[in-house]
Each structure stands twice: as structure tokens, then as C-alpha cells.
Amino acid sequence: MDKIEFKEHMLSHLYSEYGKGFENASEYEFYQSLSRTVMELLSPNWEKTRNLYRDGRQVHYFSAEFLVGRSLENNLINLGILEPVKELVEEMGYDFNNLLEEERDPGLGNGGLGRLAACFMDSSTTMNLPVIGHGLLYRYGLFRQEIENGFQKEYPDSWMEWGYPFIVPRREDTMLVHYDDLDVYAVPYDMPISGYDTNNVGTLRLWRAEPAEEFDFNLFNSQRFDDAVIERNRVQDITRVLYPNDTSYDGKVLRVRQQYFFVSASLQVIVRDYRKIHGSDFSKFAEHNRVQLNDTHPVLAIPELMRLLVDENKQSWEEAWKITCNTFAFTNHTIMQEALETWNVEIFRYLFPRILQIVERIDKQFEEELAGKGLNQQEIEQISPIHDGKVHMAYLAAYTCFSVNGVAQIHSNLIKSTVFKPFYENSPEKFNNKTNGVTPRRWLKVCNPELSNLLTDLLGSDKWIRDLTKLRDLERFVDDTDVMRRLLEIKDLNKNRLIGHIQKHEGISLSSDFIFDVQIKRLHEYKRQLLNALEIVDRYYRIKEKPKAASGPPVAYIFGAKAAPGYFNAKAVIKFINEIAKLVNSDSDVNEHMRVVFLHNYNVSYAEKIFPAADISEQISTVGMEASGTGNMKFMMNGALTLGTYDGANLEILSEVGEDNSFMFGPKLKDFPDTKAYYNAHWQYENIAGLKRAVDILIDGTITDGNTGMFKAIHDSMLLGTSSEVADPYYVLGDFDDYRKSRQLAHDSYRDSIKWAQMCWINICRSGTFSSDRTISDYARDIWQITDNKLEN
């Protein structure tokens, strides 16, 4: 399509959608018509790809979250038309970047787990692999965060209220999902996933709940307005919000309903499509379909497939069990107990007694099997899918699935020795590691165009975009000071871009002379934003006390994080950081040397502006608690240095770049003290210079939490144990001194800019293994056993 045709297509979309032409179109309407034209361009190959994949083995990636981020720019790049479209848009008097900002981020995920699923979709399509994503179309994504008076406030994120151009309904695949108290229509909305340098277009299928009963016209007519809509609301609630608050019983029921909703609808389609080819012979089902369960949220798929096979397709229990075990593979993403979902048996009984019956039978079978292997009743009971009145989703998955993997080497080892120990001992062959990765398209090429161009120029080709290990060849430029200067210039440019954005959205001014020391991730105690904050307070006091302490370069401490709405201590840390920001930024004794920024509403598109501008990547989780991390990889690719603990994928980054090109601190896992027996937080508090002063800022009146008790709560969590928890369970005080030293070293090292650039360069050149293309080829080879299937021109 040339420019003129492209413009004609845009115009016809404008007319048909809004009844107006270019002269009267708003920026938003212009963006919509542009996006619809892009959809038009993608659609023929999308359809062909679906046909191409139909008969071979397909992988179904089941996930409650897909944090895809914006689509327009990514699609333009993948279609190879970014430059001409940009020109066209500018010729027509629009600012291209403003247009991109019109697209709302589909907030269909919380954090790393959801973003990983999105990177996997990108890599699968780019590598021409038949992988389909299945999830939920939440009307309201993760909340929009505002910071009011330093507190996090949540607002609904109505990202699709005005229509989202990159999804289309496929009413022909509407399925009926049955609960004991309700029948619901599941309507799929498909999103095309374009890949880089390929014609293949993958599919992300998102289900939305719609009432199966017609709107009750008679009730409405007889003035019973509420009764007429109550039932409809109850149905639409199922896909109204991402992760509704599940602290109440009703919230939990809704959550389970959501989970069953999408796995049931997807499996019904998969079974139907299989029957179209193989009729009622199910012996090839698992050969045809592999389902990857992304954490415990979709694990209800296990009993649901059993139900479909046994009740609706006349398979014997034994046959069905064999098929089910060979179909499902499971990924665990955390060993934190709170995230290993368990559901009260009564919820299952209420929603779907038949599913409960199936899980009970699986449970019985499990117990008999293990008893046959000589385990005693008590041992078996503790790890069986149903015990203590609850269904344990992780155990159900570990027992059934043919593959169980963790997401970084240390984490995959840990699950074998902790949460899944007995399962590992029973079937070691199931367990494997698949270290996470991120897509170099979005996280390098798209977000950092100048660095991408430099890499392409030096390499003499852009092959690195599909094979990131190619960057290794560029290491030879590390001693070329011109290249290092260019790298520094690019960082400076990216910093200035971010500075403009921060000025506009946060009202804080920065300069690119500052070191950008960044921690962006969900707010969680184990991720230890609190450790970062306390070290900032300590530096603040040191400078106040002795201005000479500020001899190094100035530092901008940048945070972005959302806290779960019901997570009190996490919200307290947000308030704490904002209070520190107020204190520091308004104090002229220090604000030339340090500034603190808490970015509100951190999301994928904000992240795309931050990674390229960062100098230091804060990866400071308590050892053993961060399964992998993926932000750490994005920082590395964009030339930021890791300041981190020996945890998650930090360890694998370290083994690529070495201690000379990163700043590691704290104990290794094997040396980590048993905090329950040998750790005295109080000793640290009293004896580590400056620590008491920093910690006590929480309670000495210097800053205030507005009488919420928040600051006292985090103060106490570090110093007072409870009957169930030791003091400072996340070892914040324990790691403080070591962290401070490493951070100081990192900041001091920044002064030698060429040396600094060389370290960044090594990080970039050795980031190849952290491409999600590598991760996906590992899954494809070891778990899914699929090969590529490329659409020809």
C-alpha cells in the first residue's frame, strides 16, 4: 500500500467510524483510523497464519495476565512501514509521538508474570512458532495510580471504554460456560500479534463474559429496573476487573469464577477443533495440543479437560487421565506462600460440584499412588491436592503436569528443595529450568532507537534483532573511545527525553548530570524498596551533617511501583518514599546533590521511556525470594549496571558480565543466615553507623504519615517480631551496610565516564542470552516439541 492508498483507507475509516473527514478529526480519531488501517494490513496474513497452524501441533499458553503494552508502534515496525507512516502523519500536521500517546496501555496484567507472557507471544510469532495465547479481556485493567498527598490512590483504568482498535470479536467461537448457579456466554476477542521480519501473525485470544439470558424486557417494562439488570451485571462482573480484591469470600468466589471461565471456554474450542479433524478418536489429542499453564491461575484447566473428555466425549477415566497428563505443562513463578493459590473446597462445591468431584478423584488416586510407593499417610496428606479443606492448585499441577519449570536457575533449584520437594523426589524427570527473557524488539529496538542504530551500524546488519547473541561480536569496540562517547551521548539523549516527561507528568526537574539510579517494579516487601529508601535517608543526613559527603556526582533516585490495594505495608512504603522526596527535594542544602522521584502510574509505556535512560538498575530483593526478575534484563540491554543481590536472574547476569561489570552485595543463598535462629535485627539497628537515625525518621516526627499508623507499622516490622514472624523478615537491616558500600562504589565509579561506558557496553554485548527468543526456543525444544512453520509470501 503506498502513501496515497494508505491515506484513502484512513479516510474511509474516519468516515465510517466518526462520520467526518481529516479536517475535523481530533487527534484521537486520527489515531483510531490509523490503527484500523494497520489492522486491515495485518489481517490477510493473520488469517493465513491461523489456517497454516490449524493442522499441526499447537501450543496454548494459558495465562490470567498478558501485559502487552501499546500495539500501534510495534505493529508499524513489524509491518516495515514506520518511517513512511511517520512522514505521512507529519505531512498532515500531526505530531507522531503525540499520536502514539493516544493509545491507552491495555492494563491486562500486574507485573513480571504478565509482561513475560507478552514477551513470549512476541518471540513465538517472530520465530514462526504455533503458539496461541489465551486469557481474559478485563474491562478495567490494573488500577490507575494517583499519588495524593503522598498516598497511593487507585482509580479504575477504563482502557477500552472508547474502543480498542487492536482486538476483534469472533462471535462464531462463542462458548457457553456453565456454573451451578449461572450460565454465561464467553465471547472471544482476538488480538493479532505481529512478529519482526516475518509474515506470520500470531493470536492472543481474550475472553469476555456476556449474559446467556436475554435482557428481561418484561421486568423492565413493569418498572422493576434493578431486577432486570442485576443478573446481567453479575455475569459481566466476571470479566470486569483484573484480580478483584479477594480478601472477602465473595471476592474469592469471583476470582475462581474468572479462572474457570477462560480455561473452560478455551478448552471447549480446542476440543471442538480437534474433533473436526480427528472425530471421536482422542488418542492424538496430546500430540496435537500442548497447554502451558502460567502459574496456578489457569490450573482449573486440569479438571475441566477431564470433565470434557469423560463426560462429554465418552473417554474412560484412565484414557482421559493419560491425555490430560500429556497435555499440560506448568510454570511456577514464585515460592512465596501467599501466591500459591488455595481455594476453599466449599467454593468449588458451590460453583461446580462436578469439578470438585473430579479433583477429589484425582486426589484419591494421588494418595493411593504414593501409598503404593511406601509414603506414610501423614506425609501424603500434606502434599495432596485436597487437604485442610482446601484445594491446593500448585500441588494439583505438580502431580498432573508432565513438565514443571522454574524461571531462573536458582529458582528452579529452589522449587525442587522447597515447595515441590516431594514431587521432585517422586518424579525428578518432570523438573526443568527455563530462565526468563525479554523481547529485544520492544525493549531495545523500539524503546531505544538511537542505541539500536548504533548497534546496527557497527555490526553492519540488523541481524541482532532476531539473534541477540550477535551482539557479542561488538565487544571488540570496548576500547574504542569514539564508540564509548557515542554510547554516552545516546544515554544523555534518553535521559533528556525522560526528564521532559518527568517534568510534564511529575512536576520535578532533573538534569542529565545526575546519575539515574532506578528501581521500577511492583511494590513488595521482599523487593525491598524500603532498603533503597533507608539508604537515601542515610545519605541525606550524611550530606546535611558534612556537605563534603556529597563529593560524588548528583543522584536522581527514581522509583516506579504499584502496591496491591489491600497491602498495607507496601502502601506505607509508597507514602514513605513520597515523604522523603518532599523532604529532600525542597531542601536547598542537598537538592543539588540528590533528588527523589516517585513516578505515578508506572506502566509498560512509562517503562519504555525509563529503561533507556537509566544508569543503575536496582535489583535488591532478599536472597532466594525473587524468582527471576525481567526488569534486570531490560536494564542490562539498555546499558545500565546492576546493583543487586545474589538472587534470581541477577546471578545469571553476573555470570555473563562478572563482578567487574556489576555491583553485587549481601550474602549468597548458601551463606544467608537462618533469620529465625541467628539474626538479631536490633543489633544492626544499634550498631551499624547511621542506621538508627535513618530508621527512626519513621517515628521521630521529621516526616508524617498523616496519622495512619503506616510508618509505625513498617518501623515495627523491622524491629519487633510477632508470634508468627521474626523481626525484619526481609533482612533489610541485615543487608543495609553492604548495600550502602556497593551503592557508594557504583556512584563513585560513574565519575570515570569512559570506564563506566565500557562496563555498560559489556552488559549490552552480553545480554544475548536474555532474549525471550532464547527462552522460547528452550520451551519449544524441551517441553512443547514444536518446530517453526513459516508463512511464505
List residues with catalytic annotation: 333, 521-522, 527, 630, 634
Locate 651 and state its grid cell.
546471578
Query: What does 157-221 look like in DSSP terms, one character per residue?
Result: --TTTT--TT-EE-GGG-EEEEETTEEEEEEEEEEEEE-TT-S-EEEEEEEEEEESSPP-HHHHH
Q: Which own/partner pairs from 80-88 qualify as long-range (CB within 8 Å, at least 24 positions apart)? A: 81/41, 84/3, 84/6, 85/6, 85/34, 87/3, 88/3, 88/6, 88/7
Residue span binding ligand NBG (CB under 6 A) among the ranges 364-372, 499-507, 621-629, 771-779: 621-629
By the rule CB under 6 A, 627 interacts with ligand NBG: yes
Residue span binding ligand NBG (CB under 6 A) among the ranges 32-40, 216-224, 622-630, 664-672: 622-630
Q: Of 703, 663, 511, which is closest to residue 597 (Cα–Cα)? A: 511
650 neighbors 628 (Cβ within 8 angstroms): no
Question: Judged by CB under 6 A, which of 412, 628, 684, 767 binds ligand NBG?
Answer: 628
By the rule CB under 6 A, 152 interacts with ligand NBG: no
- Between 117 and 583, name the residue whose CB sits nearer to ligand NBG: 117
306: helix, strand or coil = helix
Integer Rg of the chain from CA: 27
Smallest gap from Cβ 74 to ligand NBG, in A, equals 20
Question: Judged by CB under 6 A, which of 126, 327, 433, 436 binds ligand NBG?
Answer: 436
- Between 295 and 735, name the residue whose CB sits nearer to ligand NBG: 295
Distance from C-alpha of 417 to C-alpha of 259, rounded to nearest angstrom: 29
Residue span binding ligand NBG (CB under 6 A) among the ranges 4-12, 110-118, 441-449, 501-509: 110-118
CA dihedral angle for residue 488, residue 489, residue 492, residue 497, rounded to 10 degrees: -140
Residue span binding ligand NBG (CB under 6 A) among the ranges 108-116, 459-467, 501-509, 709-717: 108-116
Smallest gap from Cβ 653 to ligand NBG, in A, equals 13
Smallest gap from Cβ 394 to ligand NBG, in A, equals 11
As a residue count, the chain comes to: 793
Q: Which residues in 464-523 contact ligand NBG (CB under 6 A)?
A: none
Smallest gap from Cβ 110 to ligand NBG, in A, equals 7
- Between 527 and 715, name the residue whose CB sits nearer to ligand NBG: 527
By the rule CB under 6 A, 111 interacts with ligand NBG: yes
Smallest gap from Cβ 571 to ligand NBG, in A, equals 19
Q: Which residues in 254-313 contact ligand NBG (CB under 6 A)?
A: 295
By the rule CB under 6 A, 116 interacts with ligand NBG: yes
Element (H, E) at 745: helix 732-749
- Between 113 and 468, name the residue whose CB sits nearer to ligand NBG: 113
Number of residues interacting with ligand NBG: please give it, by CB under 6 A.
16
Q: Which residues in 315-354 contact ligand NBG (CB under 6 A)?
A: 333-334, 339
Q: Of 6, 94, 100, 106, which is closest to residue 65 (Cα–Cα)? A: 106
Residue that has been written with the C-alpha cell 504519615 in this structure: 705
- Between 334 and 767, name the residue whose CB sits nearer to ligand NBG: 334
- Between 264 and 619, name the residue whose CB sits nearer to ligand NBG: 619
Q: Which residues in 631-660 contact ligand NBG (CB under 6 A)?
A: 648
Distance from C-alpha of 270 to C-alpha of 433, rounded to nearest angstrom: 27
By the rule CB under 6 A, 58 interacts with ligand NBG: no
Query: What does 384-434 look like in DSSP terms, one character per residue?
Result: SSEETTEEEHHHHHHHH-SEEEESSHHHHHHHHHTTTHHHHHH-GGGEEE-
By the rule CB under 6 A, 407 interacts with ligand NBG: yes
By the rule CB under 6 A, 25 interacts with ligand NBG: no
Locate 754 and state its grid cell.
569512559
By the rule CB under 6 A, 36 interacts with ligand NBG: no
- Between 203 and 433, name the residue whose CB sits nearer to ligand NBG: 433
By the rule CB under 6 A, 690 interacts with ligand NBG: no
| 372-384 b/e (C-beta count within 10 Å ≥ 16 → b) | eeebeeeebeebb
Residues facing residue 147 across a β-bridge:
152
Smallest gap from Cβ 459 to ligand NBG, in A, equals 29
By the rule CB under 6 A, 626 interacts with ligand NBG: yes
Element (H, E) at 737: helix 732-749
| Interacting residues toward ligand NBG by CB under 6 A | 111-113, 116, 295, 333-334, 339, 407, 436, 626-630, 648
